[in-house]
Structure 1
């Protein structure tokens, strides 16, 4: 179909208008930037930088002779979205940077983050907790676990896995990791040397992992915290090895933008296949950081966080607003293998597109319960096939969906 030459004109170039709005926004917020106490250079995609000198009374400079504390390259529309509360700075600043090195802030990252915070309707406060707080400890008391999740954002279930289950799953993870390395398909991260290894889409990688989805802990905590019909957002293993760099601090609902802090959209269950400590890469958490407008000033600095520790067989259960990251493994030998099940409310798009990634031989043998967790059940008029959205149907890909069926008619 050819494009009409008359009528509404779509796709008007607004880049200059957006740029000018971003510049005006910076000028309007300039008086608040004294808290940066830094020299910041911001590039919005133009040849000319915007230089903010906030070492004293904030002012814009035409040029600088000193080396800036931070250089930030960012799209001007991101700044506008910050100001409208539509984009969280720790997501907006880095979502391009992790794929395009030029977008990574140079120098003091904290300056870039606080600059963006000052553009927002609400300036978040750094996470903190009382020095005498009685932090969660591994327990078999599920009521206590749920109280801990409510108060601190996480809880620890002691003996969630038997020694036999731990041995079976640990062997499966280690053998699969070795196999993926040998096949040249391993996924690695954890710093420049990438010592850590992740195993994605565990549902495809052994009956042990399928069986774990029937663990009673899932039905005990997930529906209560996320409502009915929650979906398995992702299913993976994470092996932290010596020499790794801590992951950037994040929440597990960071991709939900505009940012919503009033409700938890997800819940993670992390199964410990080894005794987990602060020394071998235990997940770092900020207790209580799931409540309120809380965010770290620097997502690469874990100062003030604590390690969620527990013996082998423990399950760490934490909700999606909690600020956390994979911790550093400072041991000389050994590794920290864990399995991660991340669940999201039923209306959230899953991280793993199971309709494309699930092996057909695995799908053929799954129970309806597990298929429902993977997103194969209709619920809330969502997830239907060819318009059929009656509640509770288990769907499957059609071999021959209805296509064009045209009959000649008079018009």
Structure 2
């Protein structure tokens, strides 16, 4: 693939699909896919409310963290860490059957849950720097992704309110964007609340500007990797004990408590 194709082609969104085979084709072609109506009704409302409560708690206790063009001064955008421990509802996101089906299809099994965090853009919030999530690997990158995100849209993601923006096809370049590519054409990940967006670790993306006067846009991002990489969140220190206590077999693998080949204790899995 020519190195300029991905950043000059007119950016487009693949049509949303609930068919995983088509979703995987979208990821292969574009670097991402949208799955509609995964979280609906009362479950969507309760999960959204739980995230905004967690964000308000961080602000009230002086634990608020920001992101955007300038982390020190852009107070309109808030990052919420260790979401998995904030409310049991978030376990349903991290270990959701649709999310895990994509993890197994895209990364193989076993895999690890690197973190579960949230981004909330507020009115007037600035955009993030264009980046790819696979910067932990030397370039050129391998021809298959080493990680992936499952982004849960708890509010409508729109062009106006700072929806994540992608450079479709940029994953095929197998490298991070250069400084002179910071303004590459992007497309907003427009998706209604309750959708998930699955995107692989090499695709270029950024949080968009929130140009609205009053809208907040919240998304929870599950980051998964192949099992050879260290998790971003240290679950052994940060996780609520009951999450592990009642975790499914797949969840124990994703959290690193049940191991295959790596992380063994006296040659066997610790769980």
Q: Point out where structure 1 has 5 or more consecutive residues left out of the alignment.
A: 1-122, 396-411
- The 1:389/1:218 distance shift into structure 2, 3 A limit, reads farther
Give yes or no for contact 1:252–1:320 (8 Å, CA) kept in 2. Answer: yes
Q: How many residues align?
A: 267
Report the equivalent of 1:116. none
Using structure 1 for the length normalisation, give the TM-score: 0.61
Considering Cα pairs closer than 8 Å and 6+ residues apart, tell me whether 1 or 2 has the greater RCO. 2
- The 1:292/1:340 distance shift into structure 2, 3 A limit, reads same
Distance (Å, rounded) in 2 between the aligned partners of 1:215 and 1:293: 29
Give yes or no for contact 2:85–2:240 (8 Å, CA) kept in 1. Answer: yes
Report the equivalent of 1:212. 93
Rg larger in 1 or in 2?
A: 1
Report the equivalent of 1:356. 237
Q: Counterpart of 2:127 in 1: which secondary structure?
A: coil
Report the equivalent of 1:174. 52
Distance (Å, rounded) in 2 between the aligned partners of 1:294 and 1:173: 33
Report the equivalent of 2:67. 189
Q: What CA deviation, in whole Å up to 9, does each residue of 1:110-134 have, x standing for no partner?
A: xxxxxxxxxxxxx954732543x76
- The 1:249/1:134 distance shift into structure 2, 3 A limit, reads closer
Distance (Å, rounded) in 2 between the aligned partners of 1:320 and 1:184: 31
Distance (Å, rounded) in 1 between the aligned partners of 2:222 and 2:166: 17
Q: Counterpart of 2:7 in 1: which secondary structure?
A: coil
Query: Are 1:384 and 2:264 an aligned pair?
Result: yes
Q: Point out where structure 2 has 5 or more consecutive residues left out of the alignment.
A: none
Query: Are 1:291 and 2:169 an aligned pair?
Result: no
- The 1:203/1:127 distance shift into structure 2, 3 A limit, reads same
Query: Are 1:165 and 2:43 an aligned pair?
Result: yes
1:303 positional shift: 4.4
1:342 positional shift: 0.7
Q: Which moved more, 1:152-161 or 1:353-362?
A: 353-362
Distance (Å, rounded) in 1 between the aligned partners of 2:141 and 2:101: 25
- The 1:157/1:299 distance shift into structure 2, 3 A limit, reads farther
Q: What CA deviation, in whole Å up to 9, does each residue of 1:184-224 have, x standing for no partner?
A: 11222223233211111112111101222331112321111
Alignment of 1:117-196 (within 5 A): 125=4, 127-128=6-7, 130-131=9-10, 135-190=13-68, 191=70, 192-196=73-77
